[in-house]
Chain A
Amino acid sequence: EPEVTQTPSHQVTQMGQEVILRCVPISNHLYFYWYRQILGQKVEFLVSFYNNEISEKSEIFDDQFSVERPDGSNFTLKIRSTKLEDSAMYFCASRRDINQPQHFGDGTRLSIL
């Protein structure tokens, strides 16, 4: 069964550095998402991406964050000037159309030191 794949599984970064989290959505999917889960808290929506543009973003997704689909397969989340509170699990998700459920990757654990 096709899967959403995320790399790396764990990223350790110094505070203030930039980090790029990578995702390969399921190949025929058109809608792409990033969520995060801070330890012990709920999964929170960050951003959705469709037709090569952001379709919706949360208040968490400020100017520090950006997303890109640089080619036909990858979907990336860039966090500039990381802060301690950016430490979390970041999940990528995708779906084929708006009436289908979102399928999630296994996440990237981001640790900011």
Chain B
Amino acid sequence: DQQVKQNSPSLSVQEGRISILNCDYTNSMFDYFLWYKKYPAEGPTFLISISSIKDKNEDGRFTVFLNKSAKHLSLHIVPSQPGDSAVYFCAASDGTYKYIFGTGTRLKVLA
């Protein structure tokens, strides 16, 4: 049951360039989307979220874009920094209590 998919298991980007992480979903009832970052041996850390009534939300170097018609969201990190190297999970909610997570994309920012 892959309601939330992250098709790229890994991504490498040069420091200072833009990182674009992608996420697709299948459930049209999802109305709230989030991105979490996870370092080894730590729990997921909330990064940024977006409601389905918006198509963009920005917080510093992080911007999330939502394309409802394509059921696609993306996270842009610019400029990318070595400390951004981590696993990034997108998550979605349909207004119930739980989040549905994607499988994660491992981002490596090269110095």
Question: Which residues on the B side are within 8 Å of A4 (C-beta)?
Answer: 43
A50 and B97 form a contact (CB under 8 A): yes
Q: How many residues of B contact A (CB 8 A)?
A: 20
B81 is an interface residue with CB less than 8 A from chain A: no
B103 and A45 form a contact (CB under 8 A): no
Looking at chain A's contact residues, is the secondary structure mostly helix, strand, loop, or mixed?
strand
Q: How many residues of A contact B (CB 8 A)?
A: 25
Kindly state the separation between the CA atoms of A57 and B102 in the bound complex, as whole angstroms: 19
Question: Which residues on the B side are within 8 Å of A31 (C-beta)?
Answer: 97
A72 is an interface residue with CB less than 8 A from chain B: no
A33 is an interface residue with CB less than 8 A from chain B: yes
B100 and A107 form a contact (CB under 8 A): no
A42 and B102 form a contact (CB under 8 A): yes
Question: Which residues on the B side are within 8 Å of A33 (C-beta)?
Answer: 97-98
User: In the assembled complex, how far is the CB of residue B48 from the closest CB belonging to chain A, in whole angstroms?
Assistant: 9
Q: Contacts A101-B34, A101-B49 hold; do A43 and B101 have CB atoms under 8 A apart?
A: yes
B98 and A43 form a contact (CB under 8 A): no
B103 and A104 form a contact (CB under 8 A): no
User: In the assembled complex, how far is the CB of residue B101 from the closest CB belonging to chain A, in whole angstroms?
Assistant: 4
Kindly state the separation between the CA atoms of A90 and B101 in the bound complex, as whole angstroms: 14
Q: Contacts A33-B98, A42-B103, A45-B100 hold; do A101 and B43 have CB atoms under 8 A apart?
A: no
Question: Which residues on the B side are within 8 Å of A43 (C-beta)?
Answer: 44, 89, 91, 101
A25 is an interface residue with CB less than 8 A from chain B: no
Kindly state the separation between the CA atoms of A79 and B36 in the bound complex, as whole angstroms: 27
- Tell me which residues from 35 to 62 in chain B have a Cβ below 8 Å from any Cβ of chain A: 36, 41-46, 49
Kindly state the separation between the CA atoms of A66 and B84 in the bound complex, as whole angstroms: 36
Q: Which residues of B contact A (CB under 8 A)?
A: 34, 36, 41-46, 49, 89, 91, 96-104
**27 residue pairs bridging A and B, Cβ less than 8 Å apart:** A4-B43, A31-B97, A33-B98, A35-B101, A41-B103, A42-B101, A42-B103, A43-B44, A43-B89, A43-B91, A45-B98, A45-B99, A45-B100, A55-B97, A56-B98, A58-B98, A91-B43, A91-B44, A93-B43, A101-B34, A102-B99, A103-B46, A104-B46, A105-B43, A106-B41, A106-B43, A107-B43
